[in-house]
Amino acid sequence: MLIPHQKLFVAARTECNTRIGQFVRYPPTMETPKLPDAKSRWRCSKCGNLTRFDVVRTQRASEFWHFDLAGEPNIEERILHSDDLLEVSCRWCGVGATVELIARFDE
Residue 4 pLDDT class (50, 70, 90 cuts): very low
Q: Is 50 exceeded by the pLDDT of residue 13?
A: no
Give the pLDDT of residue 105.
82
Q: What pTM was estimated for this model as a whole?
A: 0.58
- Tell me what the pLDDT averaged over the chain comes to: 77
Higher local confidence (pLDDT), 94 or 101:
101
For 63, phi then psi, to 5°, come to -130, 145
Q: What is the DSSP letter of 70?
A: T
